[in-house]
Amino acid sequence: MTGDLTVFAAASLKSTFTTLGEQFESAHPGTTVTFNFAGSSDLVTQLTQGAPADVFASADEKNMTKAVDAGLLPGDPVNFATNTLTIVTPPGNPKGVASFADLAKPGVSVVVCAPQVPCGSATKKVEDATGVTLTPVSEESAVTDVLGKITSGQADAGLVYVTDAKGAGDEVTAVEFPESSDAVNTYPITVLTSAQNAAAAGAFVDLVTGADGQRVLADAGFSGP
């Protein structure tokens, strides 16, 4: 098995999939894995407009359903992980954010994902569940952009996945909140109908859903599907 493999994957998968891509190339000499990481909704838009790719991994089922409806899949996608939201603040949590409701307090600048992005959709679910309406200073197109606003000190708090908070380490302080259980995102992956390298695409999906892939995902803070 050789050749190029193009994987479109949700921004929150950047660290884990980069690791898995390196493992895949090592296991299959002659293959080159190229990633396109972005918000799942942006990826679906690119795919429906004809962008070439072999594999698509979404951070939610809603955007994968869009791909199914557009006829981009030869079969059913496979769920491979779940992820939940957490609050992140600059190190030390200078504004003392202790709950989801604290994000709506005056003087707390909050950054979230845009509603069409999976992390934004999850944020909206938590707002609905808590009755707390946020007034964010910005809505980002990818969860990594929200994290960037916090690590660069441009906002007091943001909503990202637990995996993003874990990956950021000492750059942020994470504040868990119980209502996050109301908005768990399930991640599906699929080989695409347009795959130019279907054999490698299938093997990559097998890696992600198999024991080695699940170990890498678990180490990063993802839960099982």
Question: Known binding site for molybdate: residues?
Answer: 12, 40, 143, 161
Task: Name the binding residues.
Answer: 12, 40, 143, 161
Residue from 187, 199, 192 nearest 70 by CA: 192
CA dihedral sign of residues 83, 85, 90, 96: negative
Please give the distance of CA 162 from its chain centroid, rounded to a whole number. Answer: 10
Distance CA 163, CA 84 (A): 8
Distance CA 212, CA 90 (A): 33
- Which secondary structure element, helix H or strand E, spans residue 46, and what is its range? helix 40-48
CB-based contact 131:107 (threshold 8 Å): no
86-116 burial, b for 16+ CB within 10 Å, e for fewer?
A: bbbbbeebebebebbebbeeeebbbbbbbeb
What is the distance between the terminal CA atoms of the chain, rounded to a whole angstrom? Answer: 28
Q: What letter does residue 24 receive in the DSSP assignment?
A: H
- Which secondary structure element, helix H or strand E, spans residue 158, and what is its range? strand 157-161
Beta strands 31-38 and 3-10 are parallel
